Chain A
Amino acid sequence: MSIAEPLTQPKEREVAAQPRINDFVIHVATVNGSGSQSANTALLRAIMQMGIPVSGKNLFPSNIQGLPTWFTIRVNKDGYLARKDHVDVLVAMNPETAHSDVMKVTSGAVVVYDQPLKLDSLRDDLTFYAVPFNDLVKPVVDLPKLRKLVRNIIYDGVLAWLLGIEMESLEEAIRKQFKRKPKAAELNIKAARVGYEYAKDNLPPQKKFRLERMNKTANKILIDGNGAAALGCMFAGVQVITWYPITPSSSLAEQLSDYMTRYRMDPESGKATFAILQAEDELAAIGMVLGAGWAGARAMTATSGPGISLMAEFAGLAYYAEVPGVIFDVQRVGPSTGMPTRSMQGDTLFVALLSHGDTQHIMLFPNSPEEIFDMSIEAFDLAEHLQTLIFVMSDLDLGMNMWMANPFQYPQKPMNRGKVLSAEDLEKIQEWGRYKDIDGDGIPYRTLPGTHHPKAPYFTRGSGHTEYARYTEDPVEFTKVLARIKKKYDKARDILPAPAIDRKPNAKIAFISYGTSHWPVEESRDVLRSEYGIETSYLRIRAYPFSKQVQEFIDAHDRVYVVEQNRDAQMLKLMRMEFTPEQIAKLRSIHSYDGLPMSSEFLVNHFLEQENA
Chain B
Amino acid sequence: MEKTSNATQAKARPQKVNRLGLDLNFYKGEKTTLCAGCGHNAISERLVQAFYEMGVDPYQVIKLSGIGCSSKSPAYFLGYSHGFNAVHGRMPSIATGALIANRSLLGVGVSGDGDTASIGIGQFVHLMRRNLPMIYIIEDNGVYGLTKGQFSATADVGSKLKTGLVNEFPAIDTCAMAIELGATFVARSFSGDRKQMSAILKAAIAHRGLAMIDVISPCVTFNDHEGSTKSYAYVKEHDEYLDEVSFVPYFENITVDYEPGSTVDVELHDGSHLLLSKLPEDYSPFDRKKAVQRLMAAHEKGEVLTGIFYVNPEAKTLFDIMHLHDTPLVQLPEEKLRPSKEVLDEIMEDLK
Contacts and interface: CB of A to CB of B under 8 A. Distances in A.
A506 interface: no
Interface string B91-119: 01111111111101100000000000000
Contacts of A292: 97-98, 100-101
Nearest to A179: B350
A587 to B, nearest CB: 37
A298 B85 CA distance: 21
A225 B94 CA distance: 29
A287 B334 contact: no
A296 interface: yes
Nearest to B103: A275
Given A292-B100, A450-B59, A462-B86, A263 B339 contact: yes
Interface stretch (B47-55, B172-180, B260-268, B340-348): B340-348
Contacts of A431: 1
Interface stretch (B160-168, B189-197, B242-250, B324-332): B324-332
Contact of B323 (A179, A271, A293): A271
Which of A242, A277, A459, A469 has the most chain B CB atoms inside 10 A of its CB?
A459
B59 A452 contact: yes
B339 A235 contact: yes
A461 B64 CA distance: 10
Given A457-B79, A460-B85, A291 B96 contact: yes
Contacts of B16: none
A407 to B, nearest CB: 4
A294 B98 contact: yes
Interface residues of B, number: 60
A457 B325 contact: no
Interface stretch (A391-399, A409-417, A541-549): A409-417
A78 interface: no
Secondary structure type dominating chain A contacts: loop
Interface string A235-251: 11111101000000000
B325 A288 contact: no
A408 B344 contact: yes
Contacts of B343: 263
A434 to B, nearest CB: 7
A277 B341 CA distance: 27
Contact of B93 (A179, A234, A272, A284): A284
A219 B97 CA distance: 40
A62 B7 CA distance: 61
A317 B86 CA distance: 8
A470 interface: yes
Contacts of B12: none
B334 A414 contact: yes
A477 interface: no
B102 A297 contact: yes
Contact of A448 (B94, B330, B344): B330
A193 B351 CA distance: 24
B338 A273 contact: no
Contact of B352 (A220, A238, A414, A462): A220
Which of B57, B60, B99, B351 has the most chain A CB atoms inside 10 A of its CB?
B351
Contacts of A220: 352
B80 interface: yes
Contact of A271 (B74, B324, B339): B324
Interface string B72-87: 0011000111111111
A456 B59 contact: yes
A242 B325 contact: no
Nearest to A236: B338
B126 A295 contact: no
B324 A287 contact: no
A415 B338 CA distance: 9
A293 B351 contact: no
Nearest to A260: B339
A292 B102 CA distance: 8
Contacts of A295: 62, 97-99, 101-102, 105, 330
Closest 4 CB pairs of A and B: A291-B97, A287-B93, A237-B337, A297-B101
Given A240-B100, A275-B329, A288-B97, 4 more contacts: A240-B97, A283-B122, A450-B104, A459-B83
18 contacts: A231-B344, A234-B339, A236-B338, A237-B337, A272-B323, A273-B337, A280-B125, A280-B126, A284-B93, A284-B123, A287-B90, A290-B86, A298-B337, A317-B86, A450-B60, A451-B59, A461-B83, A469-B1
Interface of B: 1-3, 7, 57-60, 62, 74-75, 79-87, 90, 92-102, 104-105, 122-123, 125-126, 322-326, 328-330, 332, 334, 336-339, 341, 343-344, 347-348, 350-352
